[in-house]
Structure 1
Amino acid sequence: RPTWESGTHTQSPAAHSGSRAGGSLSRISRKLCSGKLGIALKVLGGVALFWAVFILGYVTGYYVHKCK
């Protein structure tokens, strides 16, 4: 009997092979998102985002308000 008819969903053993990779990704994610390293990355990301938006706005404003 197919699993879609019984209402229960089963996964094949191949679906569980990525759990080891997912564990290492979550470990890296925890390391990068918490502690001093995480705070430093968030600050650097915020500064980089600020400058990207600032430069984009400056260039856009230059071309919008350029004298003809």
Structure 2
Amino acid sequence: MESNTAGSVQYDRWNEDNINMNVEASQSAVRRIYNRVCVGSTGLAMKAAGTIVALVSIFIVGYVTGYYVHRCAE
């Protein structure tokens, strides 16, 4: 019978052949799109464009609202 000393312990679960190092393949499609669009210089450009679109939209809504609020009653 084999003794339970430190030298006889086997680590079959942590065998190097069982380790999956392919991180890119294990990511979801949404995560890959997020990493491509929202990170780095492309992400900075997308954030700037989104900010400009939001500001222009708020300006247009405010202009139209102000027009209808302040137009002269005939």
**TM-score in same-fold range (> 0.5):** yes
Q: For residues 24 and 65 of structure 1, what CA distance do their matches in structure 2 show?
A: 49
**Between the two proteins, what is the percent identity of the paired residues?**
42
Cα distance between partner residues in 2 of 1:24 and 1:61: 44
Runs of 5+ unmatched residues, structure 1? 1-19
Q: Which residue, out of 34, 38, 58, partners 1:29? A: 34
> Which of 38, 48, 57 is residue 53 of structure 2 equivalent to?
48
- Deviations along 1:10-65, one digit per CA (max 9) or x if unpaired, are xxxxxxxxxx8x61210111111110100000000000010000000000000001
Which structure carries more helix by proportion? 1
Instruction: Give the aligned residue type for 1:40.
Output: A
1:61 aligns with 2:66: yes
Residue identity matched to 1:48? V
User: Number of paired residues?
Assistant: 48
Q: Quick check: which has more Rg, 1 or 2? A: 2
2-side partners of 1:24 and 1:67: how far apart?
54
Moved over 3 A (4+): none
Query: What is the TM-score with the length of structure 2 in the denominator?
Result: 0.60
- The CA distance in 2 between the partners of 1:29 and 1:48, in whole Å, is 20
TM-score by length of structure 1 reads: 0.65
